[in-house]
Amino acid sequence: MKKMLLLGVFLFLAGCTPSFPENVVLNPEPREITSSDDLSEELASQPLYWQDRFIYLDGTPMINAPSEQFLDELRASFFKISHDHRYIAYEYGFFRNKIGIWDTRTQTHQELVNTSEDVPYDATLSGIDFTENDNKIILAFTWNENSRTHTRLATVDIATGEIEELEINNLGTTFFNIESSMDGKWVVSDKVTQGERVCLLIDLEEQDVKCLIYEEGWYSSVKFTPDSKHIVYGHRKKFNTPSSIMRSKVDRTENKSLVSGFMGASPIIITRNEIVFVANLYDDTKCTYLYMINQDGSNFSKLSYLGEQCLPSEDTNK
């Protein structure tokens, strides 16, 4: 399972193609951070999933001895950590039809949603996130009807399990991931485009989809900054072109490349000032590393004290 998960991540980051461009370099070059002592207190306490375990960015464990069932379910899923770091919500099931939730305070987990039973469609989950106050999960699910794929958003109350479907106009795509803004107004999705209209912003107040004028290509791991005024995302124009970390204003007045030259990159943490993300390079295609850059594009760093995460070799799995 571990090998298959890492392979899937690698193929996604690699753009699912064996041909790589030559002479690609990082721009700018990162400095090395060799100790978590160099992190601010706020940054050191940020959680992430790294090398098959939940840890804080300073390297200390987030949860102790989770069950094997939970880890097996997690390795085949997408997951989100709540803003207060109490809950981990994750998708699982052979058809991605269940949401489980782990409570880090009680060290227990339970099934929260089964779309085969809890929504009026035989649906597949296509994205989850916590709402701004962490008492609900917002989810996207898809189903096929009359030879067409349909997508809908809903919220589920963590305490009661009550599901409320949201009526959103013009939801014309399936999602790989969704992210909710801290002000509760927006949801943003990943997107593959075929033109300059990038329809990835969902306005919950106006119940409509908003299109931005950006470059065509692949938009991955789109996240909101804490002020809800910017989005940060990985972008590549084509499968075999270098990937960049971008930061853009929701109102379309700014679209800035912070760092480029990755084989693949995806933001995983956004704090008040920093973006922390996983990436791999063209001269080291089998290993990924953790990087950090300030939201203004300064202080690009490689978090070398946490080490690399590599695809296992064939010899280690015999």
Query: What pLDDT was estimated at residue 318?
Result: 45
- pLDDT for residue 52: 81
Residues 5-14: what's their mean pLDDT?
A: 37
Q: How large a percentage of the chain has pLDDT more than 70?
A: 89
Per-residue pLDDT band at 2 (split at 50, 70, 90): very low
- Residues 78-89 have a mean pLDDT of 92
The H helix count followed by the E strand count for the chain is 4, 25
Supply the mean pLDDT for the chain: 85
Confidence band (pLDDT; 50, 70, 90) for 225?
very high
**Model confidence over 14-65: pLDDT tens digits?**
344 446 667 788 999 999 999 999 999 999 999 998 988 889 999 999 877 6
Look at residues 79, 91, 33 and name the one whose alpha carbon lies nearest to residue 52.
79
Q: What is the mean pLDDT of residues 108-131?
A: 88
Q: Is residue 226 classed exposed, middle or buried when 0-12, 13-18 and 19+ CB atoms within 10 A define those classes?
A: middle
pLDDT above 80 for 196: no
Residue 306 has pLDDT above 90, yes or no: yes
For the chain, report the end-to-end CA distance as a whole number of angstroms.
14
Q: Write the CB contacts of 106 (distance below 8 Å, at least 6 apart in sequence).
A: none
pLDDT average, residue stretch 178-190? 93
Is the CATH code 2.120.10.30 the one for domain 2-317?
A: yes
* pLDDT for residue 265 is more than 80: yes
Among 31-35, 126-130, 140-144, 307-311, top mean pLDDT goes to 31-35
Residue 264's alpha-carbon distances to 16, 71, 141, 233, 282, in angstroms, are 11, 25, 26, 12, 9
Mean pLDDT within 60-84: 81
Query: What's the pLDDT score for residue 199?
Result: 83
